[in-house]
Amino acid sequence: MNVDPPDPEVEVPVDEDPSALEAPRTRTRGSIGLLEENCTVCMLCARECPDWCLDIEGHTEVAPAAQPGGRPRTRNVLDRFAIDFSLCMYCGICIEVCPFDALFWAPDAVPAEPARSDLVEERDALREWIGLVPPPPALDPGADPSQEAVAAAKLDAIAAQRAGTT
């Protein structure tokens, strides 16, 4: 099939009204949000990313023992979490492999930038995109409650018990 090349004299209409653009579908892979509270700086996502787009830095801190007489614990603290969206191919591997549910697809697209280096998005942007992540679909009627809901209820019960005994 022969296709005529575009005529450079013909002006292509550009709709500059953002409200006229179609809103992204709820499950669109537009950007990646980071729930920092869940991230343990385990680096698994960075190791599994086929394009090496994740840049994560952290350090270790000593936390007090959980119980009197116990040993002090160490924990990882996040210093930097960046994704280079000029390399990202939206495969979702980082989200799939995260053992702590710290990464999620957000529907809004990563903003276009004039320079490739500006497509490296830092933790502030990733944290903002978490607010755009849609809630999971409702469970089927009669399904068991989610593990998260069960765990949260247990923590609430322990906290209420402790409050009652102090």
Residues that bind ligand SF4 (CB under 6 A): 39-45, 49-51, 53-54, 56, 83, 88-94, 98, 100, 102-103
Q: Which is nearer to ligand SF4, 56 or 125 (CB)?
A: 56
Instruction: Decide whether 88 or 133 has the Cβ nearer to ligand SF4.
Output: 88
One DSSP character per residue, the chain reads ---PPPPTTSPPP----GGGSPPPPTT---EEEE-GGG-----HHHHH-TT--EEEEEEEEEE--SSTTPPPEEEEEEEEEEEETTT-----HHHHH-TT--EEEESSPPPP-SSGGGGEE-HHHHHHHHTTPPPPPPPPTTPPPPHHHHHHHHHHHHHHHHHHH-
Report, in Å, the least distance between residue 102 CB and ligand SF4. 4
Q: Smaller CB distance to ligand SF4: residue 37 or 140?
A: 37
Q: How far is the CB of 116 from ligand SF4 (least distance, A)?
A: 15
